[in-house]
A and B are shown apart, each in its own frame.
Chain A
């Protein structure tokens, strides 16, 4: 088949089946972005950020390998794991990793002066946003789900039969399921927010830090305001609650818990709304590298 025929056939196909074209374009974008960004030297610090708790727990497992397991110790370690996930991963690890991954999707290409290649192909800019967002989500989820799974396995493996029983006969598996779900939702929520920030601001680091501050102090605000933070929904989906300690405890307003499906729905709605904003913003974007 001649080149002209190939071109004509592709044009006909895209006119007749635009949704299939969008699907195919998203798939190509995701594959290309993941291939380019998952295993690169620039991402090493993200892998380290995700693996630090795993390495600490691994060290602990190696040093305390002869310690006798006890049910009380399992309860304590369950609290420790909850602390690692809720305080380290949600507030620091996933937050900063998503900041790095998602702000780089468009702003990074602007810095590297390669974004025009993405704007010169027959792809709707909304499709570009969705494709890039999904590639970021896949990278973030792959890294942090692996890390959370690693923490969980190492945490209970050192208890031998007692640990196995806690995981398979007790609440362990359901807790793991919750952590997997919450980690994925955290990547989605923070990812969408950082993607939008990168399209709104030339330097998204400053609004990112403001967002971090907001996520930290949101618990001292009234319940309705707390609903505007990602952590609010994540906290209510976590299987183990952490006691509120420290100076913030006296200011903290305990909001009424939300049902899990509302929390999931709330986060998904927030993600979709912010993505819609990104789709709007991308149409205003111009290639003016010299102004960056």
Chain B
């Protein structure tokens, strides 16, 4: 099979550390955009990222990144930037050298490497402290200098293992904005993060992992639709909540319709959201109820995570 030159493809990938399972039978392909890996500690997120970037080899299966494999390192690592979770740096290095020397290994001349280094430092907001030793950086600064190194060569695939860890709210917002900008340029951004609210806000799709298996994968709304065990929650803000609740109860697929405490809305739990929206349209067009707002209440990463994986161990 010819690997797709635009996608990241995992073909039946398994990784075992001796007898310990890392990930098992992973199959998916990712389009450009922001993809989040979500799962509890030990679910296999970092293993998946290390496999993707060739730091470890799969026990079975194959991985293609834009049609390339890590066995073609020159082409592969020009396209891929990886900001790892390892909080370690070459001893004695400063922020500037940390980015500059790897760029020289890319084949850039000294002036070109210096230009790209300064650009990456600016993008990560680290230009002011670039000449300081990395050993003296705060955790957030170390995180950002690793991010600067990962983006310095303008990769098409950016892999980020817990990139928001240790960042203050301002730096976090700046980093997220940077990821969104990169993704809008048609690139792949793959993020593992335990901050589900932020993951939810920026992700185009999600890969949910548990105990080494991919539990669900796809666009967040599509994944939510697949979770049939848990009825969809829809919040409707309207003028006549009691009338809407009564109408909703007449439908077979509605399992609950709860009037909000302020009396100006209903929280509906239904197994068929499409049918409920049709009903809502009818009620509105008949003039029985005035609707101010309608929003799904649980088609976010956090809810999907709770439904599919549970809250026992919590995401990491």
Footprint of B on A, CB under 8 Å? Answer: 3-4, 6-7, 9-11, 13-14, 18, 21, 24-25, 28-29, 32, 36, 40, 112-114, 116-117, 119-125, 286-289, 291
Contact = CB atoms under 8 A, between A and B. Distances in A.
Given A4-B154, A119-B54, A286-B56, A11 B78 contact: yes
Given A14-B74, A288-B17, A21 B86 contact: no
Nearest to B112: A6
B298 to A, nearest CB: 36
A289 B107 contact: no
Nearest to B71: A283
A6 B116 contact: yes
Contact residues of A: prevailing secondary structure = helix
Given A32-B101, A116-B84, A286-B55, A122 B90 contact: no
Nearest to B102: A121
B106 A121 contact: yes
Given A122-B76, A125-B73, A116 B86 contact: yes
Contacts of A6: 108, 112, 115-116
B258 interface: no
B154 A123 contact: no
Contact of B154 (A7, A29, A113): A7
B44 to A, nearest CB: 14
A114 B115 contact: no
**Most B CB within 10 A of own CB, among A7, A40, A112:** A7
A222 B212 CA distance: 55
Contacts of A28: 101, 104-105
A114 B89 contact: yes
17 contacts: A3-B116, A3-B119, A7-B116, A10-B78, A11-B78, A25-B107, A40-B92, A114-B90, A120-B82, A121-B105, A121-B106, A122-B78, A122-B106, A123-B105, A287-B55, A287-B56, A288-B56
Interface in B90-113: 90-92, 101-102, 104-108, 112
Contact of A124 (B56, B73, B86, B91): B73
A279 to B, nearest CB: 13
Given A3-B115, A28-B105, A113 B88 contact: yes
A123 B103 CA distance: 11
Interface in B142-175: 153-154
B94 to A, nearest CB: 12
Nearest 3 interchain pairs by C-beta: A113-B88, A122-B77, A287-B55
Contacts of A40: 92
